[in-house]
A and B are shown apart, each in its own frame.
Chain A
């Protein structure tokens, strides 16, 4: 979706266990939901 919007040089972090130990952990595990950091650039 970032590239569809015109961004380039997309970088994605490793998965982060955002919901581990939280009330939503079970649902997150069911659908393998994790947090990620993303970085992309608007072309010059």
Chain B
């Protein structure tokens, strides 16, 4: 198994490409993408049906994860969680249900349209312990050693500087804290010219 190498493309150009793609997923979630989205995807990835069923469409329809960060270990009541690349908030709201009102969840995303949806859902559900901030995975707007757990889903593969992302996750975790994330990896090597083709990173 190999993982795509770092800094093969321009960081800012890739960010803009990702922002454009996920803005589309936010505003037109039922359009045709190269990946599954929404409730169909959540079911495919094994999410708890009752937890997903309790969420409004706004929180689920733009979900575009690639796995289930909670599959290896559920979160515990009272834990403090950071969701890197929280999108419209799907995993943050699932996390909020697991940690309960005694815990805290901070979702971080760079796409305004996604953040708007997550803010609206948190307000609708009156979830005071789930909040969202604008920011980048490489510079999380979270203080040092704040989190018990960092989650992420299908985001790190879209970051040009993965080493910087992992360093940032390490920084915001308390000693003894854990990262639980889902992402893609390829079993066959991808040609070097394809790795440098920014259009292929997002679709």
Footprint of B on A, CB under 8 Å?
Answer: 1-2, 4-7, 11, 13, 16, 18-24, 27, 30-44
Contact = CB atoms under 8 A, between A and B. Distances in A.
B170 A39 contact: no
A19 B182 CA distance: 14
Interface residues of B, number: 41
B166 A43 contact: no
Interface stretch (B30-38, B51-59, B77-85, B119-127): B30-38
A42 B178 contact: yes
B186 A31 contact: yes
Contact of A38 (B174, B175, B181): B181
B71 interface: yes
B181 A34 contact: no
A44 B176 CA distance: 4
Contact of A1 (B3, B67, B182): B3
A5 B163 contact: yes
Contact of A34 (B36, B175, B185): B185
